[in-house]
Structure 1
Amino acid sequence: MPIAIASRGFRGLYAARFTRVASAAVARPIVAQTQRLPRLAMSTKSGVSSPLVQHTAWQRLCVSDLDRLYPLLTAYIQQPSLAESVTELVMDFSSSDYSWPNDYPPDEPREPSLGVAGDLVRKHVCSLGLGDRETKAMLHVLRLWTNRPEIPPKGQPGDLPSEPDYLRDEFAGLAAVVLLSLCKNISTLHMAQPLSGFNPMLEDYLLKTNYGLLQAPGLQNLKKVEVLPGWWWNLETTYGHLEFLRLFQYFHRLPAINAISIDSFQEYQSYYTSFIPRTGNMKTLKLEHVDMDDFLLGLLISIPKVLVNLKVSLGGKEHMDGGVPTIHPQSIGRALAQHKETVAALDLDLDLCVLESTCKGKVLDSTDGTDDGDSDIEEFGRDYYKMDQETRLLVQKTPIALESYGWTIGSLHDFTSLTHLSIGIYALLGPPNSLGERLARLPPFRLIDALPPNLESFCLYGYKKGENIDVDEHVNEFLINKEARFPSLKEVKGIEEEVPGVAQLFPEESYLERMSARLKGEEEETSNQWPTPEFPDEWKPVEQSSLR
């Protein structure tokens, strides 16, 4: 039941196409001075019994006033069984505007914080075993929150808070930790990345839970994590900023974790640049409408011990520096080869970034992870790094000659478990030349020989008959021989009728048009941007009665 707490290449303004080169981490990007306020929403299936307050029962309850958290937290602390119905948690630490919205139904009175509730929460915080320093920090925030001046209810949408924004953010992080520790049956977690990163208290709890360092860790039943941007820069046109590797470090060792899904984020001046491969328990990765180079993408692909489902699409929004990421298909193919015996579904929409100019460059290996510098280990956490080294899945690594990939992701013929394949034509066969009429370099295999033998569903993104002579030859050969070579094949898309990928839906030229309009002071067109998905946040009442 849901419960919610609220490098590179670009076609410039000129005809030439340039490459945005991935750079080493330097400093964190300068952030806007105005911070968004945390938004909290909670839902529970059954009534909450608390002598401190009465609530209307809701299947999903959106709470913007943090004072309302106390009754729920104390009810769960007093009667832990009440939290068992919670299976879905939404954590969004950014509101839709600069104000602190008051969005309670008119029949929901606003109540001040209670001292006895604060005592219960304090005792629970002390029982978590997070360490003296972390516990003192949380108690300090709780003390500031409970002793702050009372705010008279105004009841008007968009009322601004009188206490400092940082205190609300800190208390929201504290409340998230308490909820995660109490709600043992959470299976789905929705997280919105705030502008300045996750709250340190929440981050500390997630890391210690993930590495099993707490006596009673939470999230033991967590199966799926979905991450979307909070408000950041310009939600309609620009990617959110995310430390991808740090996010994976919060969840990758959890016993039940199965899937991590990320949408509409960019890599930018990352602090975290290393990860031990083959240490993650997740089997499904979805990285949709993201902006990252091939080294980071290969590193993320290498994290799972066993990868079954992978979906990646590059592009759809604007990177803050402009352009598209540097992608060597052969680097991604080398990372995928680690999972050739287990991958069953593969969806790669990369063609926006598959360019002749970048394929000529040096390919870095992201699949080893054993040569990390001392500074990388310190950022990761030396103890955490050692624990991952000790538990990584060791497999015999047979290097594949880079020449066998050409400028492609390589042959998928040895992917015997792969039954569902959707892929951009140029990721599969290599980039086109500057005119687009021929391939820049012929692949070291025929398409018919590079497809997995047990293929059941096949889709090509961005293929148009007659556009590229070399591609047409490969596709025609496939059509002639597909029945004999692929007896299990039931579905073929993207040949008779084009299936557009990101490169066709959100072409790079549209970014340039918006850039030009921006320079001229004209209104920008945003309809050709990938719309950022939203978390569920609507009210859903269970029954109109007081919880007893």
Structure 2
Amino acid sequence: MSTKSSFSSPLVQNTAWQRLCVSDLDRLYPLLAAYIKQPSLADSVIELVMDFSPWQYYWPNEYPPDEPEESRLGVAGDLVREHVCGLGLGDNETKAMLHILRLWTNRKEPPLGWQPGDLPSEPQYLRGEFAGLAAVVLLSLCKNLSTLHIAEPMFGFSPILENYFLKNNYGLMQSPGLQNLKKVEILPGAWWITETVYGQLEFLRLFQYFHRLPAINAISIDSFQEYQSNHCTFIPRTGNMKSLKLEHVDIDDSLLGLLISIPKVLVELKVSLGGKEHIDGGLPTTRPHSIGRALAQHKETIVSLDLDLDLCVSEFICEGEVRDDPDDEDSDIETFGRDYYKMDQETRLLVQKPPIALESYGWTIGSLHEFTSLTNLSIGIYTLLGPPHWRGERLARQPPFRLIDALPPNLESFCLYGYKKGENAEVDEHVNEFVNNKEARFPRLKEVSGIEEEAPGVAQLFPEDSHFDRMASGMEEEEGSNQWKTPEPPSEWKPVE
């Protein structure tokens, strides 16, 4: 564990770093002062990892009073305070940041030989508040930052960081940051110690932090569930990102359709539902037609489409009356932020609902024949053709098209998830027709998989198998667990080579 003696390390202050990790707070404070003093060092940072979740650090002695004495860090402290005052976040936010700085820099040194847990720790929230403040300062200094990894904290971001994200995204900063940010990657933080269960995320709020940035190109989210969301509204066709990856998530079709509708121009989409366990059990409600209608907005631009949804496509979910999507954009204005909502309304692209009869969408994602830019397609067989009958030997309902007619005309790569020859006679008919005519119909098609040999999707790799079921059967967690292992964000600082 690093201590406050690392504050004076010349290695930390003078090295040109390519990647920084905000979680390593003890090395971070002197770096802030060094970057303010020598901006060229900050220009080398292109990757930032923000992980607010570890709470393995403890500090002895009592917490400083509400009005602590001024920092004794001299010039370094003055530089950081001056930079904070110049951010233009507003009087209340600036006052809060200066207060956190005073609390952080006046902590007492731990005694020699001290070990974590020996003495009472500092209040839990101080590290998170300072991490948010440090992240704001870094984000404002690292002008060439292109990739941002975020390990989502359990209770969301600190108000300081959230306010910065929002004001910066909507161009309300005197000197905006993140102007070269291209990719944002979101993973669960270390706080979520149950590896088999999804992390929890306010999906729409997260998008509201970044969707208007000028260089933003991709947002990637892995291993999260929607859970009792407060944010349920977003203005479609307002986002600058062109690539969305939502992998091993648990969200229903209405939220997924809304997320797909956010980009002005969508070029790449990858979605997989399932792989872990929802905290309340069960699977998301997924009607393929909702996803198809959202995708139709991007039929002229999308090039790569990877949809692994079959785990959640069932006859039970799809049956029933199909209704048009309600226009309820005004239902959540206050939570969204009235001023932000108005700004997005003023910049949105026109949304055109696809002129396709609802009944043709009800049980399938719909035909992709009009997706003329789509060259790379990976999709679950039942997402495209509709769910199987509960017995499995045939389709619950015949789709309003043949498989070969529903594929994009300029296809170059095609993969069917979850198809097993001989398992469903009606699906076999569709697939055989495609195999017999693919050369004539798709002259650019070079790669085909999932026909002769099964290409397993989430439904095959991670079948629903809940923690509660395993416990009831007496099965050991290590023996019975069959969930997606969430990747971890980078943890090491990386110097420029």
Within 5 A, what are the aligned runs for 1:227-266? 227-266=186-225
Within 5 A, what are the aligned runs for 1:407-486? 407-486=363-442
Q: Decide whether aligned partners of structure 1 residues 410 and 389 sit closer, same or farther in structure 2, where only a CA change above 3 A counts.
A: same
Matched, 1:355 2:309: no
Q: Residue 371 of structure 1: which of 325, 328, 341 is its match?
A: 328
- Partners of 1:364 and 1:380 in 2: CA distance: 26
- Partners of 1:280 and 1:160 in 2: CA distance: 49
Q: Cα deviation per residue 1:7-38 (whole Å; 9 max; x = unaligned)?
A: xxxxxxxxxxxxxxxxxxxxxxxxxxxxxxxx
The structural deviation recorded for 1:152 is 3.2
- Name 2:472's counterpart in structure 1: 519
The structural deviation recorded for 1:541 is 5.7
- Partners of 2:430 and 2:221 in 1: CA distance: 33
Within 5 A, what are the aligned runs for 1:145-544? 145-152=104-111, 154=113, 162-363=121-322, 371-374=328-331, 376-508=332-464, 510-511=465-466, 514-519=467-472, 522-524=475-477, 525=479, 527-538=481-492, 540=494
Show structure 2 runs of 5+ residues with no match: 60-70
Amino acid paired to 2:400: P
Query: Alignment partner of 2:43: what SS?
Result: helix
Q: Does the CA contact (< 8 Å) of 2:221 and 2:246 recur in 1?
A: yes
- Partners of 1:254 and 1:60 in 2: CA distance: 21
Amino acid paired to 1:260: I
- Partners of 2:28 and 2:112 in 1: CA distance: 16
Query: Alignment partner of 1:195: what SS?
Result: coil
Amino acid paired to 2:485: P
Query: Alignment partner of 2:485: what SS?
Result: coil
Matched, 1:100 2:67: no
Runs of 4+ off more than 3 Å? 56-65, 152-161, 232-235, 361-366, 395-399, 519-522, 538-543
Q: Does the CA contact (< 8 Å) of 1:285 and 1:309 recur in 2?
A: yes
Show structure 1 runs of 5+ residues with no match: 1-38, 41-50, 103-111, 544-548
Q: Decide whether aligned partners of structure 1 residues 363 and 150 sit closer, same or farther in structure 2, where only a CA change above 3 A counts.
A: farther
Amino acid paired to 1:178: V
- Partners of 1:336 and 1:400 in 2: CA distance: 13
Query: Alignment partner of 1:444: what SS?
Result: coil
Q: Does the CA contact (< 8 Å) of 1:283 and 1:308 recur in 2?
A: yes
Q: Cα deviation per residue 1:305-359 (whole Å; 9 max; x = unaligned)?
A: 0000000000000001101000000111011001000010000000000000110
Query: Alignment partner of 1:325: what SS?
Result: coil
**Structure 1 length normalisation: TM-score?**
0.83
The structural deviation recorded for 1:274 is 0.4
Count of residues paired in the alignment: 478
- Partners of 1:397 and 1:443 in 2: CA distance: 21
- Partners of 2:495 and 2:35 in 1: CA distance: 19
Q: Does the CA contact (< 8 Å) of 1:70 and 1:113 recur in 2?
A: no
- Partners of 1:261 and 1:158 in 2: CA distance: 37
**Which protein, 1 or 2, shows the higher relative CO under an 8 Å CA cutoff with sep ≥ 6?**
1
Q: Decide whether aligned partners of structure 1 residues 142 and 309 sit closer, same or farther in structure 2, where only a CA change above 3 A counts.
A: same
Q: Residue 41 of structure 2: which of 62, 78, 82 is its match?
A: 82
Amino acid paired to 2:469: S
- Name 2:62's counterpart in structure 1: none
- Partners of 1:76 and 1:339 in 2: CA distance: 42
| Identity percentage of aligned residues | 77
- Partners of 2:110 and 2:315 in 1: CA distance: 61
- Aligned-residue Cα RMSD (Å) equals 2.4
Q: Decide whether aligned partners of structure 1 residues 387 and 459 sit closer, same or farther in structure 2, where only a CA change above 3 A counts.
A: same
- Partners of 1:396 and 1:236 in 2: CA distance: 41
Bigger shift: residues 514-523 or 122-131: 514-523
Q: Cα deviation per residue 1:68-124 (whole Å; 9 max; x = unaligned)?
A: 3221000111111210000000001112xx52299xxxxxxxxx9724322211111
- Partners of 2:191 and 2:101 in 1: CA distance: 28
Amino acid paired to 1:516: D
Q: Decide whether aligned partners of structure 1 residues 167 and 401 sit closer, same or farther in structure 2, where only a CA change above 3 A counts.
A: same
The structural deviation recorded for 1:236 is 1.6
- Partners of 1:62 and 1:131 in 2: CA distance: 27
- Partners of 2:165 and 2:295 in 1: CA distance: 28
- Partners of 1:257 and 1:364 in 2: CA distance: 34
- Name 1:21's counterpart in structure 2: none
Q: Decide whether aligned partners of structure 1 residues 126 and 263 sit closer, same or farther in structure 2, where only a CA change above 3 A counts.
A: same
Q: Decide whether aligned partners of structure 1 residues 479 and 322 sit closer, same or farther in structure 2, where only a CA change above 3 A counts.
A: same
- Partners of 1:263 and 1:134 in 2: CA distance: 31
Q: Does the CA contact (< 8 Å) of 2:19 and 2:49 recur in 1?
A: no
Query: Alignment partner of 1:287: what SS?
Result: strand
- Partners of 2:315 and 2:29 in 1: CA distance: 58
Amino acid paired to 2:359: E
- Name 1:7's counterpart in structure 2: none
**Structure 2 length normalisation: TM-score?**
0.91
Q: Decide whether aligned partners of structure 1 residues 438 and 64 sit closer, same or farther in structure 2, where only a CA change above 3 A counts.
A: closer
Q: Decide whether aligned partners of structure 1 residues 320 and 255 sit closer, same or farther in structure 2, where only a CA change above 3 A counts.
A: same
Q: Does the CA contact (< 8 Å) of 2:18 and 2:44 recur in 1?
A: no
- Greater share of helix residues, 1 or 2? 2
Q: Decide whether aligned partners of structure 1 residues 311 and 160 sit closer, same or farther in structure 2, where only a CA change above 3 A counts.
A: farther
Amino acid paired to 1:476: N
The structural deviation recorded for 1:160 is 7.8
Query: Alignment partner of 2:246: what SS?
Result: strand
Amino acid paired to 1:371: D
The structural deviation recorded for 1:246 is 0.2
Query: Alignment partner of 1:312: what SS?
Result: strand
The structural deviation recorded for 1:198 is 1.1
